[in-house]
Amino acid sequence: MPGPTSDPAADPGTAGGAATAAEVPPPRRGRHDGGPAATATRTRRGNKAGRGTASWRRIVPQALVVAFLAGGTSAFVAADKAVRLTVDGEPRTLHTFADDVDELLRAEGLGVGPHDLVAPARAADLDDGDEIVVRYGRPLQLTLDGQRRQLWTTADTVEGALRQLGVRAEGAYLSAPRTAPVPRGGLTLNVRTERSVTFMADGRERTIRTNAATVQEALDQAGISLHAQDTTSVPPGSFPRDGQTVTVLRITGTREVREERIPYETEKVRDDALFAGTEVVERVGRPGARRVTYSLRSVNGVRQKPRRIAEETLREPVSQLVRVGTRPLPDSVAGADGLDWGALAHCESGGRASATDASGTYGGLYQFDVQTWQSLGGSGSPQAASGTEQTYRAKKLYVQRGASPWPHCGRRLYR
């Protein structure tokens, strides 16, 4: 009776036996076949071949995934850039995927305005290793040598701002130290540059370098003093300009009080009771008086025109009132028109209507006395009347008394 076999192929119930049976050809007769050991060897080789095929099937997809990931990592690394960003002097190195400067600034939350400095320009392309500088603009309220201006600077110190604006700081007065910061909110700065000023004083010329705020301050630096009424050719409180020449005026002076006459005015009133051309003084004018104080000055030894500094009225003037005749003169006086009145007037007064004798009793062309003149209808004094009126009244006198009022010259009427 045969015993149990050790060949797996003899057990059709195992998977290995089924596989081996399918793959191994029928046994051949000979010395190398038919044994259990040979059958086992063939079975082990078949199993190893099956396992190798399955391993390759797993390795190929994994290799493809690894290759894909390796390519993506290379692209990722290529897009990343290491750049140096300096903002207001503070540098830092960072990694970015930005393509240009503007994109980098946005990514970093750095807003820039028209007064800010960005280098390179915001539209410039960004490459690995680039350096980007941002300086923020700062408002600067600058008073330079008395002139006030509103400016912007990207410097963060007073010295840097002055250098950026081209202001010479050597020897200048600064309201803030050179090392003082210029904050983002701005700074008010007063600068007085060093200037050359020449003083002409007491016959001498002195030139100094100064950053003084006023001419008076520069005078003090030059060792020149002003006394009493002394002053300068420009206001002592004015700003000294570069190259300016200032003359010191040494002033001495006194006061003088004078009493002066106030002239009166003349008021004229029309009067139809008087013949035209006749004027009669109704009220004699009287001048007034005032007390005037003058300042008498000498500047650098030269006497100046007196200057009125005070005035007091002592007496008000009284205006003169004059009546002016408007009545038309008659054309003639019957019985006296044909006589030579010009010859009579020349003999009596030299033909002068305003003539008066040495005693002041007689006046006019025909040397009337006041009483006779007024008896003929005249007003005031005869010499104040017009020549025409005087001739008219002389004719009236002739009609009344003939040539007797002119005992020496009356015969001239008849030539």
CATH placement of domain 329-414: 1.10.530.10
pLDDT at 379: 82
For residue range 235-244, what is the model confidence (pLDDT) as tens digits?
999 999 999 9
63 in helix, strand or coil? helix
For the domain made up of 138-192, the CATH class stated in words is alpha beta
pLDDT at 45: 43
Supply the pTM of this predicted model. 0.47
Distance, CA of 224 to CA of 205 (rounded, Å): 11
pLDDT at 5: 36
206 in helix, strand or coil? strand
Lookup: tokens for 182: 């210029």
How far is C-alpha 324 from the geometric centre of its chain's CA atoms? Answer: 63
The angle at the Cα of 193, spanning 189 to 198, to the nearest 5 degrees, equals: 145
- CB-neighbour burial class of residue 158 (10 A; exposed 0-12, middle 13-18, buried 19+): buried
Mean pLDDT of 41-54: 44
Q: Lowest-confidence range among 88-97, 103-112, 262-271, 330-339?
A: 330-339
Residue entry with tokens 């005032």 = 290
The average confidence (pLDDT) of the chain is 83
Residue 283 has pLDDT above 90, yes or no: yes
Cβ-Cβ contacts under 8 Å for 244 (sequence gap 6 or more): 195, 197, 198, 234
Residue 15 has pLDDT above 80, yes or no: no
Mean pLDDT of 80-100: 93
* 85 bridge partner residues: 92, 132
For residue range 308-318, what is the model confidence (pLDDT) as tens digits?
999 999 999 99
Mean pLDDT of 290-302: 93
pLDDT at 69: 47
Mean pLDDT of 44-53: 45
* 275 bridge partner residues: 327
- CB-neighbour burial class of residue 346 (10 A; exposed 0-12, middle 13-18, buried 19+): middle
Mean pLDDT of 220-229: 92
85 in helix, strand or coil? strand
Mean pLDDT of 283-302: 94
Domain boundary assignment for the chain: 81-135, 138-192, 195-249, 254-322, 329-414
pLDDT at 77: 53
Q: Which residue has the higher pLDDT, 395 or 6?
A: 395
pLDDT at 99: 93
Domains 81-135 and 195-249 share a fold: yes
Residue 97 has pLDDT above 80, yes or no: yes
Mean pLDDT of 130-142: 94
Residue 132 has pLDDT above 70, yes or no: yes
Mean pLDDT of 357-383: 92
Cβ–Cβ under 8 Å, residues 282 and 324 = no
Q: Which residue has the higher pLDDT, 288 or 386?
A: 288
Taking each continuous run of H as one helix and of E as one strand, the counts in the chain are 8, 21
Residue 226 has pLDDT above 90, yes or no: yes
CATH placement of domain 81-135: 3.10.20.90
Question: Is residue 22 very low, low, confident or very high in pLDDT (cuts 50, 70, 90)?
Answer: very low
Cβ–Cβ under 8 Å, residues 275 and 325 = yes
- 195-249: in CATH 3.10.20: yes
* 292 bridge partner residues: 258, 311
Q: HSE-up of 296 (CA within 13 Å, CB side)?
A: 8
At the topology level, CATH places domain 254-322 in: Resuscitation-promoting factor rpfb fold (2.20.230)
Mean pLDDT of 139-155: 93
For residue range 60-75, what is the model confidence (pLDDT) as tens digits?
455 444 444 444 444 4
Mean pLDDT of 180-209: 94
